[in-house]
Amino acid sequence: DQQVKQNSPSLSVQEGRISILNCDYTNSMFDYFLWYKKYPAEGPTFLISISSIKDKNEDGRFTVFLNKSAKHLSLHIVPSQPGDSAVYFCAASALTGANNLFFGTGTRLTVIP
Amino acid sequence: EAGVTQFPSHSVIEKGQTVTLRCDPISGHDNLYWYRRVMGKEIKFLLHFVKESKQDESGMPNNRFLAERTGGTYSTLKVQPAELEDSGVYFCASSQDLNMAYEQYFGPGTRLTVT
């Protein structure tokens, strides 16, 4: 059973606008959440993370929001740039338990120039 | 610093054959992970080594998969005999600190196609 879900397989956004990628999880034991970015023929690259004790973490153009009660997180990219076009994976971990990451199915973001 | 490397980048084999995938982690990283992504689905955890010991192999699909990590350096993942459903991209990742989940550095993956 999939514990991390990304229900939008793709998203297209105009350059300069905001991109919002969404992720839901089911396991209440998850206490650390990550976003990875993946280009074709490359492995996932860590982008930004958030601990369950926070509800927001910002790094430049990237902000991750966490709503624990809804078991939902989102990644905001503003302004979006053509180089942001990639597949974005949401991942979760229970740091107090196993160290492996649970990934979603990914959302393909296309930023249109 | 060299990143995580994987070999081969792509392998095409027939059902019933054997394939061995190799992963070289970042030097000094004690933790090594194998993940797999079947087309269009999520990236799924297979197993985790700490040095040469298997810490967690709960994600291994069945006994046709055998992972080893000789001397705590590189790791191999053997599939024998391969089945059609084994097709996918196999990712290796490594990390130095067990408690820093985000510090898993991924290799480019091996695309396995079983025909």
Mean pLDDT of B26-40: 92
pLDDT digits (tens, 9 = 90+) for B56-114: 899 999 999 999 998 889 999 999 999 999 999 999 999 987 666 667 899 999 999 99
CB B105 within 8 A of CB B31: no
Nearest by Cα to B31 from B73, B3, B1 = B73
pLDDT the model gives residue B98: 67
Nearest chain A residue to B95 by CA distance is A99
Does the beta carbon of A106 lie under 8 angstroms from any beta carbon of chain B? yes
The beta strand positions in chain A, using DSSP E, are: 4-5, 10-14, 19-25, 32-38, 45-51, 56-59, 62-67, 72-77, 86-93, 102-103, 107-112
- A41 chain-B contacts, CB cut-off 8 A: 9, 108-109
pLDDT the model gives residue A98: 59
DSSP H or E segment with residue A107: strand A107-112
Q: How far is B83 from chain A (nearest CA, A)?
A: 22
Q: State both tokens at B8.
A: 């081969």
Which strands, in side-by-side order, build the sheet including A56-59? A4-5, A19-25, A72-77, A62-67, A56-59
φ, ψ for residue B62, nearest 5 deg:
-170, 180
B31: β partners: B50, B95
Q: Is the pLDDT of residue A22 over 80?
A: yes
Q: How far is A7 from chain B (nearest CA, A)?
A: 12
pLDDT digits (tens, 9 = 90+) for A25-37: 999 999 999 999 9
pLDDT the model gives residue B74: 96
pLDDT the model gives residue A2: 87
Nearest by Cα to A94 from A25, A24, A32 = A32
Does the beta carbon of A30 lie under 8 angstroms from any beta carbon of chain B? no
A44/B33 touch (CB, cutoff 8 Å), yes or no: no
Q: State both tokens at A77.
A: 């990219």
- A107 chain-B contacts, CB cut-off 8 A: none
Nearest chain A residue to B109 by CA distance is A43
Nearest chain A residue to B110 by CA distance is A41
**What is the Cα–Cα distance from B23 to B44, expressed in whole angstroms?**
17
CB A62 within 8 A of CB B18: no
Query: What pLDDT band is residue B1 in, cutting at 50, 70 and 90?
Result: low
B93/A43 touch (CB, cutoff 8 Å), yes or no: yes
Nearest by Cα to B94 from B77, B75, B81, B113 = B75
CB B9 within 8 A of CB B21: no
pLDDT digits (tens, 9 = 90+) for A69-113: 999 999 999 999 999 999 999 999 886 655 788 999 999 999 999
Q: Give me the amino acid identity at B36.
A: R
- B91 chain-A contacts, CB cut-off 8 A: 43-44
B42/A103 touch (CB, cutoff 8 Å), yes or no: yes
DSSP H or E segment with residue B114: strand B110-114
Q: How far is B99 from chain A (nearest CA, A)?
A: 7
Q: Is the pLDDT of residue B54 over 80?
A: yes
**What is the Cα–Cα distance from A110 to A8, expressed in whole angstroms?**
13
Question: Cα A46 to chain center, whole Å?
Answer: 10
Write the DSSP symbol of residue B58. Answer: T
B108/A99 touch (CB, cutoff 8 Å), yes or no: no
pLDDT the model gives residue B70: 85
A100/B48 touch (CB, cutoff 8 Å), yes or no: yes
